[in-house]
Each structure stands twice: as structure tokens, then as C-alpha cells.
Amino acid sequence: MSLLSLKEFSWERMIAAVDAVRERACRAAAALQRAGVPHAVIGGNAIAAWVARVDAEAVRNTKDVDVLVRRRDFQRVIDALESVGFVYQNVADVDLFLDGPEGSVRTGIHIVFAGERVRSDYLLPAPDVTDSEAGPGFTVATLEALVTMKLTSFRLKDRVHLLDLLGVGLIDASWCERLRPELAVRLQELIASQEYEA
């Protein structure tokens, strides 16, 4: 086991980490906007933007930025993001942009293609970029699009994000009626787990 070099506890470093994510998201979105590339922020930052509309204290920070674009616009995406300092890479079949040559994959801009399955075994493809609303400095996927994506992938972090939405009342059991049966079962499972823990 390697020895970690621990720094002192620091509010400044914690705040700087959150600010850095926001700055990357806003810089990327502004570049895409200037280039006329339809897009929407998805993933944890979009969930946080929705949660903040109800309860800022319930917001969970996310280190990377997921952006939904159309594949036919991808060269324009590359041009736009590289013009503001991002560096394109494809890592393990994931298209992403590092924040400069020394940037980290963990804190990069990750691209998801509209209308395509993120993984071949996913039940549904990603939504279109038109399933979005104007947000805080960037366009955010609609709540319905986000819920569908999170229920489709349903990894641990997706379940946590869905619990955040349930926790502030943005979604509830009534949503099961508007979802595909396979996704409704997953939402019911999460709701039941909440009730069990209460």
C-alpha cells in the first residue's frame, strides 16, 4: 500500500474544487453556445442544478462535467472546446476533453451522444439535446430526460442522484406511471429502499 501525503484540512481547497467544476462547465457551454452547437449539460451537474432549485443545502458536488451533443456536430464540438483550452482525447472508447494538457480524466468534460446508447446493453438511448432548459450559465437537460437517463444506467452514483431528486420532492412514486415498466420498477425499488431506511 502506498503512503499518501496528506495536506492540512482546508475550506479553501474544498471551495476551489467546486469552483473549478463550475468554471469548466460554464467555459465549455459558452464555447459551444458561441459556435452554435446544440448541447445540454447532463449527469451530476445537471442533477445538482435541478436540486438547487428546491434546496441548495441538498446539492451534491460532482467533479466532472457531462455534456450531451449530436454526433454530427462532434467536429464543431472539438473545435469549440479546443478554442478555450480543452484537449480532446478518446479514453477506453469515451470521448472527453481534458482541461489543458495536464488535465485529469476524472475532472474532464465527458461527451454523450444524443440518440445513442451510452452502452450497448442499455435499454434506452440518450435523449436529444432539445430535451433541455436554460440553466445557471449553461443549458440543462429536462428533469424527465435526466430521470430516464439515470434509471437507464442505474449505477451506484445514478441511484444516489435519483435519491437526491426524491429527497427534495422533484420526483416521487407518481413518476412510475410515465416511465417504461422496466424503469418504473427501478424507481419503485429506490422508493422502497428510502421507506425501509426511514
What global pTM score does this model have?
0.93
Domains: count for the chain: 1
Q: What is the pLDDT along the chain (198 residues), one digit of tens a residue?
A: 568 888 899 999 999 989 999 999 999 999 999 999 999 999 999 999 999 999 999 999 999 999 999 999 999 999 999 999 999 999 888 999 999 999 999 999 999 999 999 999 999 999 999 999 987 789 999 999 999 999 999 999 999 999 999 999 999 999 999 999 999 999 999 999 886 554
CATH number for 135: 3.30.460
SS (H, E, C) the chain: CCCCCCCCCCHHHHHHHHHHHHHHHHHHHHHHHHCCCCEEEEHHHHHHHHHHCCCHHHCCCCCCEEEEECHHHHHHHHHHHHCCCEEEEEECCEEEEEECCCCCHHHCEEEEECCCCCCCCCCCCCCCCCCEEECCCCEEECHHHHHHHHHHHCCHHHHHHHHHHHHCCCCCHHHHHHCCHHHHHHHHHHHHHHHHHC
**Within a domain: residue 150?**
no
Residue span of the structural domain in which 71 resides: 11-142
